[in-house]
Chains A and B, each alone.
Chain A
Amino acid sequence: MADRPDNVQYTKTHEWIRIEGGVATVGITDFAVQHLGDLVFVDLPSKGADIEVGTAVAEIESVKAVGEVYAPIGGEVVEVNGDLSADQSSLASDPFGAGWLFKVQIAGEPAAGLMDRGSYEAQLES
Chain B
Amino acid sequence: MTIRKTPLYAAHAEAGARFVDFHGWEMPVQYEGILDETRRVRNHGGLFDLCHMGRLVISGPDREALVERVFSGNLAKLRHGRAKYGFLLNADGYPIDDVLVYRDHEVIHIVINATGRDGDGPWVQQQCEAAGFNATVEDVSESQAMIALQGRASEHVLQPLCGTDLSAVRYYGFANAPVCGHPALLARTGYTGEDGFELFFDPQHAPAVWDALLESGAALEVRPIGLGARDLLRLEAGMPLYGQEITTEIDPLEADLAFGVDLTKDATVGVSALRARQAAGVARTAISLAQVGGRVPRTGCPVLRDGQRVGIVTSGGVSPTVGKNIARALVTREAAAQGGTFDVEIRGHTSPMSVVPHPFYKRAR
Contact = CB atoms under 8 A, between A and B. Distances in A.
B29 A64 contact: yes
B255 interface: no
Which of B30, B232, B318 has the most C-beta atoms of chain A within 10 angstroms of its own C-beta?
B318
B296 A40 contact: yes
B340 interface: no
A63 B293 contact: no
A38 B296 contact: no
Interface of B: 29-30, 33-36, 228, 232, 293-296, 317-318, 325, 347
A94 to B, nearest CB: 18
Contacts of A59: 295, 347
Tell me the dominant secondary structure on chain B's binding face: mixed
Contact of B33 (A38, A41, A43, A61): A38
A41 B228 CA distance: 18
B35 A41 contact: no
Contacts of A41: 293-296
Contact of A63 (B228, B295, B347): B228
Contacts of B35: 38, 63
Give the interface residue-count category, chain A: 10 to 19
A66 interface: yes
A61 B30 contact: no
20 contacts: A37-B30, A37-B33, A37-B228, A38-B33, A38-B34, A38-B35, A38-B36, A40-B296, A41-B294, A41-B295, A59-B295, A61-B295, A63-B35, A63-B228, A63-B232, A63-B296, A63-B317, A64-B29, A64-B34, A64-B228
A63 B34 contact: yes
A61 B317 CA distance: 11
Nearest to B34: A63
Which of B30, B228, B296, B317 has the most C-beta atoms of chain A within 10 angstroms of its own C-beta?
B296
Contact of B34 (A37, A61, A66): A37
B100 to A, nearest CB: 26
Nearest to B228: A64
